[in-house]
Structure 1
Amino acid sequence: MIIKNKVLINNVIEKPIVMDVGLKSDNKPKPIVIFAHGFKGFKDWGHFNEVMDFFITNECVFLKFNFSHNGGTVEQPIDFPDLDAFGKNTITKELNDVSSVLDWIHTTEELPKEELDINDITLIGHSRGGGIAMLAASIDVRIKRIITWAAISDFESRLPSDLSEWKAKGVVYIENARTKQQMPMYYSFVEDLFANKNKYKIENAIKKANQPHLIIHGDSDLTVNVEEAKQLNEWNKNADLKIITGANHTFDVSHPHQEEQLSEAAKKVLTYSLAFIKKMV
């Protein structure tokens, strides 16, 4: 029997976290897979529902969630109705969200305990979510392995070289190419990053973390260059690196996902990821 639940984690400090949880019930403990979306992303983007079905079918407990300040709401978790929250997002907030999801897994009574192997938790992150996954793994031993899809290798290098105007105005706006929204980013993001400069440096995190790590990247990624994946692999030579020829930043999937089949690149990502999880069990 397939069990799928919509879950709401009410944070005391932050906005709620909206999450989907699914598993195939067979009264046996299963590895747990948590998926973290990237910048301007959300849990229902593109093919992420198919990703969930894939892992459930292959006997994993799967959780995908919206970061509390990704711009979505409880009522409208798709797209970005709450641009003010989007603008107030920080790395610290996203790390706190990951910790809250892990806390929920360890304490929930909404899922049968016998179905969960809480000692086998994989964190998957796409794009900026991959950066968050690497930081989280360096500080939280509950994460047993990490898989990064088209992940960034650094946060600071993505900031403008001249921050004076951003600091003076307190906000910059980024256009969403799909929705055409002008999406704010408040200077608090920069302040948070600089206040935790060493802690939030991905190079430091990946060298500190000792969990098994699978790096997957497309060599036609125009958003995060494949050289960043190679750099991650240089910092952790024990990581597994899979480069998918011809694949773009979203592994040749767009939103909304209307095709009947996943792209070949997306299929490879799932196959590599599942094999990595299963060989480590």
Structure 2
Amino acid sequence: MKLTNMVYQGANGRNSQIDFEAPDSFEYTDIVVFIHGYKGYKDWGAWNLVQQYFVSNGMGFCKFNMSHNGGTVDEGIDFPDLEAFSLNRYTYEVEDLKHALDWLEQKVDLKNKRIHLIGHSRGGGIAILSAKDPRVSSVTTWASISDIGTRFPKGETLDNWREKGFYTVRNSRTEQDMPHQFVLYEDWLENKDELDIEKCARNIKVPTFHIHGDADDSVSITESEALGLWTEGKLIIINKANHTFNTYQPYTEEEMPNKLHEACVLTFQFIENQEKGE
């Protein structure tokens, strides 16, 4: 079974793209659900090769676009809908993952399946926040954030954001000024408890695994170190791996970068060990 660019209904009723692929040749019990990060999407870089890796190794694989990531159901690459992007908020992304799992449940009988979340960067934080979902069997974070509040502007910049109602972040690759409405910050203020990654990590009930590159210049290794401490999950640092494990957009190579392959192998081994109760 291979479903590509299907549609699920995410947060606030907004539709977005979703993929699912299962190995055809044999029965499988494990499904990976991949969660992209900030300014990301399901087809960014070598994420499709990540899908191929897990499926070829006998696991189902689901990846999806956050409903307000700037993509549309017709164009999931880059950011044709900056208005939707501007309205995004962290609670929307937690809700999106729930709706993606609901969609998956409609396509696959999950009764004898195990769901394993892999979250990259901001997606790692969303995975931790969502680990209490009874359908989730494990969480792996790749170069994950460990806190939301510290990512907001401070002082005068915050005051200007409040006054103007929005601020923009430059995307150097697409040359877009990507706007954030102040509702992003208000949503965090209103839902601090629900969006407390540390609290969720300390109370997590499923096995966790954390991977980070030592050449990451976007998210500090100390964030994965904190997650490892809070969740009591293993942390592995990959030498000479950057924030995206050396993949980039557009990525046209037939093989994924070695550092990304290493992250896949380590994650696969972690998931396999869950079957053995290790």
1:103-133 Cα offsets, whole Å, 9 max, x none, are 122233xx5x4xx565410011100011111
Query: Tell me, what secondary structure is at the counterpart of 2:136?
Result: coil
5 Å-filtered alignment, 1:51-62, equals 51-62=50-61
- CA 1:207–1:180 in structure 2 vs 1: closer, same or farther (change >3 Å)? same
State TM-score, norm by structure 1. Answer: 0.93
CA contact (8 A) 1:33 1:60 kept: yes
Find the aligned partners of 2:49 and 2:26 in 1 and give their Cα distance: 24
Letter in 2 for 1:134: I
Q: 1:151 aligns with which of 115, 132, 144?
A: 144
Identity across aligned pairs (percent)? 39
- CA 1:188–1:268 in structure 2 vs 1: closer, same or farther (change >3 Å)? same
Find the aligned partners of 1:12 and 1:142 in 2 and give their Cα distance: 19
Find the aligned partners of 1:39 and 1:57 in 2 and give their Cα distance: 28
Find the aligned partners of 2:160 and 2:112 in 1 and give their Cα distance: 46
CA contact (8 A) 1:90 1:188 kept: yes
Find the aligned partners of 2:4 and 2:29 in 1 and give their Cα distance: 17
CA drift at 1:247: 0.8
Q: 2:182 aligns with which of 187, 190, 198?
A: 187
- Structure 2 partner of 1:229: 224
Find the aligned partners of 2:129 and 2:112 in 1 and give their Cα distance: 20
- Structure 1 partner of 2:114: 120
- Structure 2 partner of 1:97: 96
- CA 1:11–1:42 in structure 2 vs 1: closer, same or farther (change >3 Å)? closer
- CA 1:107–1:258 in structure 2 vs 1: closer, same or farther (change >3 Å)? closer
Aligned residue-pair number: 273
Whether 2:61 is the aligned partner of 1:67: answer no
Query: Tell me, what secondary structure is at the counterpart of 1:81?
Result: coil
| Runs of at least 5 residues in structure 2 that lack an aligned partner in the other structure | none
Find the aligned partners of 1:127 and 1:236 in 2 and give their Cα distance: 17
Find the aligned partners of 2:170 and 2:150 in 1 and give their Cα distance: 20
Whether 2:17 is the aligned partner of 1:18: answer yes
Letter in 1 for 2:160: E
CA drift at 1:191: 0.7
- Structure 2 partner of 1:262: 256
Find the aligned partners of 1:11 and 1:198 in 2 and give their Cα distance: 22
Find the aligned partners of 2:217 and 2:45 in 1 and give their Cα distance: 18
Whether 2:250 is the aligned partner of 1:251: answer no
CA drift at 1:228: 1.0
- CA 1:195–1:247 in structure 2 vs 1: closer, same or farther (change >3 Å)? same
- Structure 2 partner of 1:43: 42
1:144-200 Cα offsets, whole Å, 9 max, x none, are 100100000101101111221111111000000110100000111111111111221
* Aligned-residue CA RMSD (Å): 1.5
Find the aligned partners of 2:257 and 2:183 in 1 and give their Cα distance: 38
Find the aligned partners of 1:134 and 1:126 in 2 and give their Cα distance: 11
CA drift at 1:23: 1.1
- Structure 2 partner of 1:142: 135
Find the aligned partners of 2:237 and 2:93 in 1 and give their Cα distance: 27
CA drift at 1:263: 1.6
Query: Tell me, what secondary structure is at the counterpart of 1:24?
Result: coil
Find the aligned partners of 2:11 and 2:117 in 1 and give their Cα distance: 23
CA drift at 1:25: 2.0
1:202-231 Cα offsets, whole Å, 9 max, x none, are 110101111101100001100001111111
- CA 1:64–1:11 in structure 2 vs 1: closer, same or farther (change >3 Å)? closer
CA contact (8 A) 1:17 1:66 kept: yes
- CA 1:274–1:12 in structure 2 vs 1: closer, same or farther (change >3 Å)? closer
Letter in 2 for 1:160: P
Find the aligned partners of 1:126 and 1:228 in 2 and give their Cα distance: 13
